[in-house]
Amino acid sequence: MDRRHFIGAAAAGALAAGTSSALQTTGKARRVGLIGTGWYGKIDLLRLIQVEPVDVVSLCDVDSNMLESAATLVASRQKSGKKPQLFHDYKDMLKQSGLDICLIATPDHWHALAMIEAAKAGADIYVQKPISVDVTEGQAMVAAARKYKRVVQVGTQRRSTPHIAEAKEKFIDTGRLGKISYVDIHCYYHMRATDNPPDGPPPANLDYEMWTGPAPMRPFNALTHPRRWRAFMEYGNGIVGDMAIHMFDMTRWMLKLGWPTKISSDGGIYMDRKSKANITDTQVCTWEYPDLSIVWNHRTWGDAGEPDPKHSWGATFYGEKGRLKVGVYSWDFLPNGKGEQPEHRDVTYEFDKFPEDKTEKDLETHVSPAVRHHMMDLLSAVDKRSKPVADIEEGHISTASCILANLALKAGRSFTWDAQKQMVVGDAEANKMLTRAYRKPWVHPDAKAV
C-alpha cells in the first residue's frame, strides 16, 4: 500500500472508530502539549484533535494573552472539555506534564532548544519548519532524536497533502514525465513587511526577554510580535526558510533526493528599502544534483499572478515528456506533443467531515487536510516506533539546504557541500557560518553533547 492510500485509510479508520490505538492498547488518551500558541500552533493542535481524541494537558507561551486565548479555544474543541495547564517556561512544562507528544510552533529561533528538551523529556515531537536557524542546530536536533529514540515529524506537510501525493504517484512514480532535469520552485506572494513602525516598549502581556531568547536582542516594534517576526533574519531564514523549504522539501520527496552537491544564491533588497524588514524581497537559489537543478525564485513585488495565477506558490517539474505544475491549491499535467490530454486536479477539502474548518479563525482551509494527514502519519509512526514521512533528518536536509543558500548569498559565492562530513568543501569561512552565535545565557546545542 503506498503512503497516500495508507494515510487516507489510517485517517478514515481512526475517524470512523472514534478512537485511537493508544486508547485501544492502554485505555488512556495520549497526553499532548503545545509550545508556542500562536497562529500555526493552534492550527496544528486543532488538526491533531480532529483526527484523534488526545488529551491536551498543557500549553506554553511567553505571551499571556495568547496563552489564555488558546486555552479557552482548546477546551472548547477537545473531547474532555478541560482547560489545559498553562506554562510560561517550556522547561517547566516538560518537567511537569509527562507528555506523550509535544508540538513545537514557536518562532524559528526557539525550535532547536525546545525540541531537544522535549526529546530528553521522553516526548515524541511535531516541530514546525524550518527546524533551525543554523546548520549545526539541525545536526544537534537529529542527534537528540536518535539518542533518545524519539519519533519527530517536521511540519513540511506537502509530503502528506492528498492531491500532491496523488500527483507524485500518477506522474513521477510512473515515469510519465520521462527524465526530469529541471524543477522551478517559486513564490510571488506579497508577504514581506513593507511598513516601518516605531520602536517602543513591548506590551505588558509579552515577556520580550524570553521571547527573544538565544536570538540577538532587537528593539521591540510591531513587526516583532505577534506573527510578523518573519520580517527579520534574527528570528528565521527569510522567505527562503519560510516558503522555499516547503517546495524544495516536496521536490526532494517526490524525486527521492538527498543532499544537493552545490548551492548558490543571488538577490537582496531591491525594491523596498524603507521597511525595517531585513529579509530579501528578491532572491534566486539553485541547488544542484547530478543531472538535475532545482531553482527557487521569490519576489515580493509586482504581479503575484505572473507568470501563472493558478500557481503563484508552487513547483514546475520539467520532463522529457511533459510538465507537472504542483501547488497547494491544485496540480496540472501538461504533456508534450500529441497523444495525451492535459489533466487537472484541485485541492481536497474535507468540510463534510470537519465543518468547523469553515469557521475557524485564520485557518488556511486548503492546508487543513494536509496537516490532518501529517498528524495521522505521526501517530502511526509513534505506534510503530518508525520514522514518519517528514522525519527530523529529512527536515534537517531541507532546512540546512535553505540556510546554505542564504549563506551563499551572504558570502557572495557558491558552496560545494560534503554531506558526509556536513561541511562546505575547502571553505573555512563558510564553515564558521554554519553556527550562529547565541545570546547569553543561552547555550548553542552540540550534536556530540545533547
Q: b or e along 357-366 (b: 16 or more beta carbons within 10 Å of the residue's beta carbon)?
A: beebeebeeb
In a domain, 235, yes or no: no
Strand order in the sheet with 423-424: 343-346, 330-335, 322-327, 313-319, 180-187, 292-299, 282-289, 262-268, 415-418, 423-424
In a domain, 294, yes or no: no
Region 368-396: mean pLDDT is 98
Nearest to 398 by CA among 265, 260, 291: 260
Parent domain of 153: 3-159+386-392
The answer to whether the CB of 249 falls within 8 A of the CB of 398 is: yes
The answer to whether the CB of 63 falls within 8 A of the CB of 41 is: no
Q: b or e along 383-422 (b: 16 or more beta carbons within 10 Å of the residue's beta carbon)?
A: eeeeebbbbbbbbbbbbbbbbbbbbbbebeebbebeeeeb
How far apart, in whole angstroms, are the C-alpha atoms of residue 188 and residue 284?
A: 12
The three cell numbers of residue 331 are: 496540480
- Residues 195, 200, 201, 205, Cα dihedral to 10°: -20
How far apart, in whole angstroms, are the C-alpha atoms of residue 120 and residue 135?
A: 21
In a domain, 271, yes or no: no
DSSP character at residue 198? P
In the predicted structure, residue 3 carries a pLDDT above the cut 60: no
pLDDT on residue 1: 37
Region 8-16: mean pLDDT is 45
In a domain, 116, yes or no: yes
In a domain, 36, yes or no: yes
The three cell numbers of residue 441 are: 545565557
In the predicted structure, residue 19 carries a pLDDT above the cut 80: no
In a domain, 77, yes or no: yes
Region 421-429: mean pLDDT is 98
Region 266-288: mean pLDDT is 97
pLDDT on residue 340: 87
In a domain, 42, yes or no: yes
How far apart, in whole angstroms, are the C-alpha atoms of residue 368 and residue 358?
A: 11
Give the tens place of pLDDT for each residue, 311-352.
Answer: 999 999 999 999 999 999 999 999 998 778 999 999 999 999
27 — pLDDT class (breaks 50, 70, 90): confident
In a domain, 7, yes or no: yes
Query: For residue 75, what is the domain's CATH number?
Result: 3.40.50.720
Q: Environment class of residue 32 by beta-carbon count within 10 Å: exposed (0-12), middle (13-18) or buried (19+)?
A: buried
Residues 6+ apart with CB under 8 A from 40: 105, 128, 155
- Helix 3-17 to helix 39-51 angle (10° resolution) is 70
pLDDT on residue 26: 75
In the predicted structure, residue 99 carries a pLDDT above the cut 70: yes
Say how many domains are in the chain.
1
Half-sphere exposure of 220 (CA within 13 A, CB side): 14
20 — pLDDT class (breaks 50, 70, 90): low
pTM above the 0.85 mark? yes
